[in-house]
Amino acid sequence: KQEVTQIPAALSVPEGENLVLNCSFTDSAIYNLQWFRQDPGKGLTSLLLIQSSQREQTSGRLNASLDKSSGRSTLYIAASQPGDSATYLCAVSVGGGADGLTFGKGTHLIIQP
């Protein structure tokens, strides 16, 4: 059964720093990997989607990489801002999106002003 782990569980850094969030998965036979952001008490906002054939995706200050063979993904946030404070979730799809996502438990990120 696929398991997704996110490290660290929590992270607090000063504003302006670059940071890396880690995600690992046990079964490399994934269809894609998705990074989400969740603000307290709210739903999930999709940040980046990486197909299994891709190595990375970028959106603004965010860059996500995927190493499928080693079962790892990283989310890089450049020049962090207080508005980046949220929980970041990693999720993998095995069956092409038709059978649900398997989620990690998230990294709770706080950016100190």
Partner 1 sequence: DVKVTQSSRYLVKRTGEKVFLECVQDMDHENMFWYRQDPGLGLRLIYFSYDVKMKEKGDIPEGYSVSREKKERFSLILESASTNQTSMYLCASGAWNEQFFGPGTRLTVL
Residue 46 interacts with partner 1 (CB under 8 A): yes or no: yes
CA–CA distance, 99 with 29 (Å, rounded to integer): 14
Judged by CB under 8 A, the number of residues near partner 1 is 25
CA–CA distance, 78 with 67 (Å, rounded to integer): 20
> Applying CB under 8 A, which part among 10-18, 20-28, 31-39, 54-62 lies near partner 1?
31-39
CA–CA distance, 59 with 80 (Å, rounded to integer): 14
Output the smallest distance, CB 89 to partner 1, in A: 7
**Sign of torsion over alpha carbons 97, 99, 102, 108:** positive
Output the smallest distance, CB 44 to partner 1, in A: 4
**Site residues (CB under 8 A) for partner 1?**
32, 34, 36, 41-46, 49, 51, 89, 91, 93, 96-106
